[in-house]
Amino acid sequence: MGVAILVEDVHFSYEGVPALRGVSLTIRTGEVLAIMGENGAGKTTLVKHFVGLLKPERGRVLVFGIDTRDASVAQLARRVGLVFQNPDHQLFAESVEGEVLFTLRNMGYPSDKARAICDSILKLFELDRYKNRSPYSLSIGERKRLAIAAVVSYNPDVLVLDEPTAGQDFFNKSKISKLIFKLKMQGKGVVIVTHDVEFAAQVADRVVLMAEGRVIREGGAKDVLTDAEALRRARLMLPQIPATAAILEAEGVSLPSKPLLPGTLYLELLELLDHRWSEYE
Amino acid sequence: MSKVLDIFRFRRKRTLLHELDPRAKFAMLVALSAASLALSDGVSLAALLVVEVVLLAVAKSLREWARSLTGLSTLLILIFALNYLTLPTDRLFTATAMTLRFLCLTTAFSIFFLTTTADELAAALEASGVPREYSMMFTMSLRFVPSLARDMQTVTDALRSRGLELEKGSLSERLRNYTYLLVPLIVFELKRSLMVAEALEARGFGAVKKVEPYIELTFKGKDYVVVITSFLALLAVAWVILSGTYSTFVAWLRGVFPKV
Amino acid sequence: MTLVELRHVRFRYAGSDSYALNDVSLSAERGEFILLVGPSGCGKSTLLRVLNGLVPHFYEGEFEGEAKVAGLNVRSTPTHVLARHVGMVFQDPENQLFLSSVEREIAFGLENLGLSRLEVRRRVREVLKEFNLESIKEKAPYELSGGQQQKVAIASVMALEPEILALDEPTANLDPLSALEVLTLVNRLVREKGVLAFVVEHRLELALRFATRMIVMLNGRVAADGGPREVLLKAGKVVGYPPVMLAHVLLKRKGLVGDGVPLTCEELAEEVIAKWALRYS
How far away is chain B from the Cα of A101, in angstroms, using its nearest Cα?
A: 11
Other Cβ atoms less than 10 A from the Cβ of B235: the count is: 11
Other Cβ atoms less than 10 A from the Cβ of C194: the count is: 13
Average pLDDT of span A227-252: 91
Contacts of A36 (CB under 8 A, 6+ apart): A43, A193, A194, A195, A197, A200, A207, A208, A209, A210, A234, A236
Cβ burial A85-121 (10 Å sphere, 16+ → b, else e): bbbbbbbbbebbbbbbbbbbbbbebeeeebeebbeeb
Residue C90 and residue B195 in contact, taking contact as beta carbons nearer than 8 Å: yes
Average pLDDT of span B91-97: 82
Closest in A84, A92, A151 to B183, CB measured:
A92
Q: How far apart are CA C244 and CA C267, in angstroms?
A: 9
Choose the mutation target among A169, A225, A278 for the interface with C, i.e. most C CBs under 10 Å: A169
Residue B184 to residue A92, Cβ atoms within 8 A: yes
What's the angle, vertex CA C64, arms to CA C62 and CA C68, rounded to 5? 120
Contacts of B73 (CB under 8 A, 6+ apart): none
What's the angle, vertex CA C11, arms to CA C6 and CA C14, rounded to 5? 155
Q: Judge residue B182's burial from the number of C-beta atoms within 10 Å of its C-beta, 0-12 exposed, 13-18 middle, 19 or more buried.
A: exposed
Residues C85-117: tens digit of each pLDDT: 999 999 998 899 988 889 999 999 999 988 888
Average pLDDT of span B225-251: 87
Choose the mutation target among A14, A72, A75, A88 for the interface with B, i.e. most B CBs under 10 Å: A88
Does A5 have pLDDT greater than 90?
Answer: yes
pLDDT category of residue A249 using cuts at 50, 70 and 90: confident
As beta bridge partners, residue C73 has C68
Q: What does pLDDT average to over chain A?
A: 91
Residue A248 to residue C279, Cβ atoms within 8 A: no
pLDDT category of residue A279 using cuts at 50, 70 and 90: very low
pLDDT category of residue B6 using cuts at 50, 70 and 90: low
Residues C124-149: tens digit of each pLDDT: 999 999 999 999 998 888 888 889 99
How far away is chain B from the Cα of C157, in angstroms, using its nearest Cα?
A: 7
Q: How far apart are CA B98 and CA B95, in angstroms?
A: 5
Peptide bond into B146 cis (omega under 30): no
pLDDT at res. C231: 94
Average pLDDT of span B80-93: 80
Identity (one letter) of the amino acid at B185?
L
CA dihedral A121, A127, A132, A138 (to 10 degrees): -140
pLDDT at res. B252: 82
Other Cβ atoms less than 10 A from the Cβ of C100: the count is: 26
Average pLDDT of span A27-56: 93
Residue B163 to residue A89, Cβ atoms within 8 A: no
Residues A131-175: tens digit of each pLDDT: 999 998 888 889 999 999 999 999 999 999 999 998 899 999 999
Q: How far apart are CA B1 and CA A279, in angstroms?
A: 70
Choose the mutation target among A86, A170, A235 for the interface with C, i.e. most C CBs under 10 Å: A170
pLDDT category of residue B5 using cuts at 50, 70 and 90: low
Residue A78 to residue B163, Cβ atoms within 8 A: yes
Beta strand residue intervals within chain A, DSSP E: 3-14, 17-28, 32-36, 58-63, 66-67, 80-83, 158-162, 189-194, 206-211, 214-220
pLDDT at res. B161: 92
SS3 C35: strand
Residues B101-128: tens digit of each pLDDT: 999 999 998 888 888 887 788 888 888 8
Interface of B with A (CB under 8 A): 67, 151, 154-155, 157-165, 180, 183-184, 187-188, 191
pLDDT at res. B1: 44
Residue C265 to residue A240, Cβ atoms within 8 A: yes
Residue C205 to residue A248, Cβ atoms within 8 A: no
pLDDT category of residue B250 using cuts at 50, 70 and 90: confident
Q: Chain A residues with CB inside 8 Å of C264's CB?
A: 240
Residue A77 to residue B162, Cβ atoms within 8 A: yes
Q: Chain C residues with CB inside 8 Å of B147's CB?
A: 94
Q: How far is CA B134 from the centre of its chain?
A: 20
As beta bridge partners, residue A28 has A3
pLDDT at res. C275: 72
How far away is chain A from the Cα of B138, in angstroms, using its nearest Cα?
A: 25
Residue B213 to residue C111, Cβ atoms within 8 A: yes
Nearest of C176, C169, C96, C105 to residue C137 by alpha carbon: C105
Q: How far apart are CA B2 and CA A270, in angstroms?
A: 59
Instruction: Tell me whether A203 touches chain C (CB under 8 Å).
Output: no
Choose the mutation target among B10, B117, B203, B205 for the interface with C, i.e. most C CBs under 10 Å: B203
**CA-CA distances (angstroms) from residue C233 to A169, A239, C240, C248, C272?**
18, 21, 10, 12, 19
pLDDT at res. C77: 93
Residue C265 to residue A244, Cβ atoms within 8 A: yes
Closest in C175, C243, C266 to A262, CB measured:
C243
Cβ pairs A/B, distance under 8 A:
66
pLDDT at res. B115: 87
3-state helix, strand, coil in chain A (%, to 5): 40, 25, 35
Q: How far apart are CA B180 and CA A92, in angstroms?
A: 6
Q: Chain C residues with CB inside 8 Å of A253's CB?
A: 272-273, 278
How far away is chain A from the Cα of C112, in angstroms, using its nearest Cα?
A: 31
Cβ pairs A/C, distance under 8 A:
114
Q: How far apart are CA A155 and CA A78, in angstroms?
A: 8
Contacts of A269 (CB under 8 A, 6+ apart): A255, C251, C256, C272
- DSSP state at residue C60: -
Q: How far apart are CA A217 and CA A227, in angstroms?
A: 9
Q: How far apart are CA A79 and CA A4, in angstroms?
A: 9
pLDDT category of residue A277 using cuts at 50, 70 and 90: very low
pLDDT at res. C6: 96
Closest in C58, C80, C94 to B204, CB measured:
C80
Closest in C54, C94, C113 to B147, CB measured:
C94
Residue A252 and residue A54 in contact, taking contact as beta carbons nearer than 8 Å: no
Per-residue model confidence as pLDDT tens for chain C (281 residues): 799 999 999 999 998 889 999 999 999 999 999 999 999 889 999 999 999 999 999 999 999 999 999 999 999 999 999 999 999 999 998 899 988 889 999 999 999 988 888 999 999 999 999 999 999 998 888 888 889 999 999 999 999 999 999 999 999 989 889 999 999 999 999 999 999 999 999 889 899 999 999 999 999 999 999 999 999 999 988 999 999 999 998 888 887 787 888 999 999 988 888 776 543 33
Q: Chain C residues with CB inside 8 Å of A241's CB?
A: 243-244, 247
Choose the mutation target among B161, B181, B189 for the interface with A, i.e. most A CBs under 10 Å: B161
Q: How far apart are CA C204 and CA C208, in angstroms?
A: 6
Q: What does pLDDT average to over chain C?
A: 91
Residues A99-135: tens digit of each pLDDT: 999 999 989 899 999 999 999 999 989 898 999 999 9
